[in-house]
Amino acid sequence: MLTAARNPKHHLTDPPATPARSFSQGGRPGLRVPRTAVLALKDAIVRLPPDQRATLVLRELEGLSYEEIAHVLGTTVPAVKGRLHRARLALLHAMRGRAAGWSVFSSLPQPLVAVPAFLFVAFFDGLVPAGLGFAGGAMLWMVAAQVVPDAVRTSSRRSVALALAGSTAAMLALEALLLT
């Protein structure tokens, strides 16, 4: 695709060796990347020299091998490796300063909220036992009203009773261990 734009006599007709990944599909499932970081990365990629940008896009987004990239760009495998290395270093330097600034900015709420949070906890300190009791009661109700009936529908009553007895014994043992 990039090569076709740069050099009209080369056309990519075969699909890439591995499916292309967008920034939103990313490397790790569930990883949320702020939109500003994605835009900064795209901007850093656009600022790369054309040969490094083409090599990086073909490798990281299109999934081509070094040999395929060398063939598409009309160069050698060592040249592809060198361009890819320089492109990755440029991206690292471009994003490093951004990451340092973001870490300082994202840590600002901690000291700003620490004092009000302490005052809030100190003010409601007397309600903590009642709140914990309410939470414990709500959990027991949820187990009795939803979890146990669902378990009985999918398993035998004996296995559910054994699981309840075993988990209760484990919790009592843990409580005894923590209180001694």
pTM above 0.75, yes or no: no
Residue type, 115: V
Residue type, 162: L
Question: How many angstroms separate the Cα of 165 from the Cα of each of 68, 71, 122, 160, 172?
Answer: 62, 67, 38, 9, 11
> What residue numbers bound the domain in which 66 lies?
2-107
Question: 3-12, 93-102, 151-160: lowest mean pLDDT where?
Answer: 3-12
Question: What's the mean pLDDT when you consider all of the chain?
Answer: 82
Angle separating helix axes 35-47 and 77-107, nearest 10 degrees: 150
pLDDT at residue 40, rounded to an integer: 85
Band of pLDDT at residue 9, cut at 50, 70 and 90: very low
Q: Where are the alpha helices (DSSP H) in the chain?
A: 2-6, 35-47, 50-56, 66-73, 77-107, 109-123, 128-142, 148-154, 157-179
* 40 is a domain residue: yes
pLDDT at residue 153, rounded to an integer: 93
Q: pLDDT tens across 113-136, in order? A: 888 888 988 899 899 899 999 999
* 169 is a domain residue: yes
Q: Are residues 55 and 102 in the same domain?
A: yes
Contact 81, 103 (CB under 8 A): no
Q: Are residues 145 and 98 in the same domain?
A: no
Q: pLDDT tens across 24-41, in order? A: 444 556 667 778 878 888
Whether 18 has a pLDDT exceeding 50, the answer reads: no
Residues 6+ apart with CB under 8 A from 164: 148
Give the residue carrying structure tokens 């060198």.
82
Q: Are residues 72 and 32 in the same domain?
A: yes
Q: pLDDT tens across 63-118, in order? A: 999 999 999 999 999 999 999 999 999 998 888 877 777 677 777 777 788 888 88
Q: pLDDT tens across 46-64, in order? A: 999 999 999 999 999 899 9
* 122 is a domain residue: no
Q: Are residues 30 and 73 in the same domain?
A: yes
Contact 175, 168 (CB under 8 A): no
